[in-house]
Structure 1
Amino acid sequence: MPGHGPGPSSTTPSEGPLPALRALIAAGTITADPAQVMAAEKLQDLWRRTRGYDPRQDPPDTGGFLSRFFRRKATEEAPAGAPMGLYLVGEVGRGKSMLMDLFFAAAEVPRKKRLHFHQFMQQVHRRIHAWKLRDADAPAPADIHDHDPIPPLADSIVAEAALLCFDEFQVHDIADAMILGRLFEALFARGVVVVATSNTAPDDLFRGKPGRDAFLPFITLIKKRIEVLVIESARDYRRERIRGLPTWHVPPDGRAERALDAAFAELTGGAPASTTTLTLLGRAVAVPQAARGVARFAFDEICGRPLGPADYLAVATHFHAIVLDGIPRLGPENFDKARRFITLVDTLYEHRVKLVASAEDVPDRLYERGENAAMFERTASRLVEMQSQAYLALPHLT
């Protein structure tokens, strides 16, 4: 079966990502792709250079002026011997996440973390907020630099991971853009190695957004400390996966649930799912299951709560596919849910998000009575189109 392959647990970590990829090819789990093999060779080299890697920790802080000064000295230079990271960039569906997962599973680094970049930035904002709350309650420090949350944040991150692997590196939020430069400068100064996947080349990050000029030093820093590799595979494995899947299951019974379980596993390459939260303008959208750009919701989890267009936009731009369980019949008795569902479908359609769902009926018969039944006709038409091979072949729009 062509595609990204199973989760990293099926590999042999001690040999590195390149032998793991070759084993998957030999087993017929995935097809050979020269672009993926080239990327795996780069990752294999990084795997060798990071075996047993543990950057030198800063000396204990005695509280003196010189200690604080050197601990907070701004620098773009990593400690001697710190390996450069790798930034895998390419169009969607080229196997970037699979390759990074093979590397992460094999990496022999004492402290390592692999997470979605959006999830990482949420953690960063939470930690900065918590630090500010503690700082506000603490006595005024003797050194004004002690009001800076970035050094202690970087210290806490490097204490947890000397290797950070980020999936779907992307910057949409001005708040993220303003933090990233100083944070990554501090992480690199502490010897952290970064591996990332992205659909966007570093030079195009945050392009066209207000405040980008202030973001340019971060791009320069990334290109200095992380090697950029473009994966130019001619195949889009992500689209091949969705094209072969039934996308609408009636009724929403045990058989349909098993089909959605299988679809989620197929679309994510068997990657383990986790809960996450999308934050937009202070609002939070809980995502019960997410992995590799795919989210799964029960109908009430996304249409039974007071969510609006901005919330659905966050979902549509962060996920290329949605698995939705249990769409009920719609009518006057659940009008609010029906209205939200219409908004959700419109947003998913506009961003070419792929939808796999179970429902009480086919789209044309979901909303047959009530004053807004006529309005639902367009939604039903879009739901039918979203099942077509032509729609499934379209690229996701972020």
Structure 2
Amino acid sequence: MQERLVDRHPEVPADQLVAQMTPPPMFDEVSFASYIPDPKQPSQAAAVRKAEDFSGRVGEIHRAVNKKGLFGRRKQLSGAGLYLDGGFGVGKTHLLASIFHSAPAPKSFGTFGELTNLVGALGFDNSVERLARNSVLCIDEFELDDPGDTMLVSRLLTELSARGVSIAATSNTLPGQLGEGRFAAQDFLREIKKLGAIFESVRVDGPDYRHRDLPPAPDPTSTSALTERAAATPGSTLDAFDPLLKHLSTLHPSKYGALISGVSAVYIADVHPVTDQAVALRIVVLADRLYDASVPVTVSGAKLDEIFSEEMLDGGYRKKYLRAISRLLALSRFEAAAT
């Protein structure tokens, strides 16, 4: 019988949330040396050098913090900060994961959403105590669209930095703002007022590598063909779009990774544009977890680049929706290339 995601009800103990804060599998083996800068974009090579320099400082600060003085106390040093500012698919996550891999343990890597989920699951004080042992905290896709979450994370980073934890973060500049590079950085630094002084902002320019020399979004397949392909793919799941969306509403977003654990490919029937923002934001989280795990996605119904309406794309969460579309298209092409 064909497996369905809606039949899965994963449980993730809170004490595992910190342990699983590592880069996605596709970034397991990346390094500064494996980042290939675009010769047409000199900021990319410059960003690699800045990231390597930052990584060196992380190790120095961590060793100094853990070196006890005459009275057996750890030194009080503030962590360093690096902010990688740029568009979609220019390799910022590659550089962030390289920083993580080169830093001494303990260390943590997660998206902004995963970090807020962690605080929600463990509580603020407990999260600080667990993360304060780190040499570095790497935050991918730092988001400024929710004032409450931004203030929460800003407070968390202030506490961690004061205890010697270095912070590296990435975010995205909207495609229409790529010529206005510093605006995203200014927004970031303004929102983390107390931490602004420790962050060095580094620009990473370039086109989305996921779209370089690639064809447009694959046309959706028919529902009957979708069913046949799912049945012929071991370890895959097949769900109807609306029941899947309903199921996602019953799960905390921190469980979406466990929801797709071990799945080889995801097939979704009868996809259509969504109009409810809460539903759309759940799709964003699912798209992130699918992309992290490199799980191919195939659909029937509407094209994946039509999943969010123009009205939604023009709203406050535009950046998230564009990232989700970019990632879903990459996963759909991955499946198409395999057939």
Interval containing the TM-score (normalised by the shorter chain): 0.5 to 0.7
Q: Give matches, 1:252-291, under 5 Å.
A: 252=226, 253-254=228-229, 284=252, 287-288=256-257
Provide closer, same or farther for how the CA distance between residues 96 and 289 of structure 1 changes in structure 2, counting only shifts above 3 A: farther
Match of 1:134 in 2: none
Q: Give matches, 1:80-229, under 5 Å.
A: 80=77, 82-105=78-101, 107-128=102-123, 149-150=124-125, 152-159=126-133, 161-200=134-173, 201-205=184-188, 218-229=191-202
| 1:311 equivalenced with 2:307 (yes/no) | no
Deviation string for 1:189-229 (max 9, x for gaps)? 11111111101524325xxxxxxxxx95x522232122111
Q: Which has the larger radius of gyration?
A: 1
Alpha-carbon distance, 1:167 to partner:
0.8
**Counterpart code for 2:128:** A
Find the aligned partners of 2:165 and 2:284 in 1 and give their Cα distance: 29
**Selected match of 2:57 from 22, 28, 49:** 49
Match of 2:209 in 1: 237
Alpha-carbon distance, 1:248 to partner:
3.2
TM-score (normalizing by structure 1): 0.50
Provide closer, same or farther for how the CA distance between residues 179 and 356 of structure 1 changes in structure 2, counting only shifts above 3 A: closer
**Selected match of 2:308 from 333, 339, 347:** 347
Find the aligned partners of 1:177 and 1:164 in 2 and give their Cα distance: 16
8 Å Cα contact 1:256/1:358 also seen in 2: no
Provide closer, same or farther for how the CA distance between residues 187 and 290 of structure 1 changes in structure 2, counting only shifts above 3 A: farther
Structure 2: stretches of 5+ with no match in the other structure? 1-24, 69-74, 174-183, 237-247, 314-321, 333-339
Provide closer, same or farther for how the CA distance between residues 345 and 181 of structure 1 changes in structure 2, counting only shifts above 3 A: same
RCO higher in structure (CA 8 A, sep ≥6): 2
**Counterpart code for 1:203:** Q
Alpha-carbon distance, 1:10 to partner:
4.2
Aligned pairs, number: 251
TM-score (normalizing by structure 2): 0.57
8 Å Cα contact 1:248/1:358 also seen in 2: no
Find the aligned partners of 2:109 and 2:90 in 1 and give their Cα distance: 19
SS at match of 2:139: strand
Alpha-carbon distance, 1:172 to partner:
2.5
Find the aligned partners of 2:128 and 2:94 in 1 and give their Cα distance: 28
SS at match of 1:79: coil
Deviation string for 1:292-328 (max 9, x for gaps)? xxxx85437999xxx9823322146555898644548
Provide closer, same or farther for how the CA distance between residues 289 and 229 of structure 1 changes in structure 2, counting only shifts above 3 A: farther
Structure 1: stretches of 5+ with no match in the other structure? 1-5, 60-77, 129-148, 206-214, 262-278, 329-340, 360-398
SS at match of 1:287: helix
**Counterpart code for 2:131:** I
RMSD: 4.6
Find the aligned partners of 2:331 and 2:151 in 1 and give their Cα distance: 41
SS at match of 2:137: strand
Work out the percentage of aligned pairs sharing the same amino acid: 20
Alpha-carbon distance, 1:44 to partner:
1.1
Match of 2:19 in 1: none
Match of 2:268 in 1: 299
8 Å Cα contact 1:257/1:358 also seen in 2: no
8 Å Cα contact 2:103/2:135 also seen in 1: no
Provide closer, same or farther for how the CA distance between residues 345 and 108 of structure 1 changes in structure 2, counting only shifts above 3 A: closer
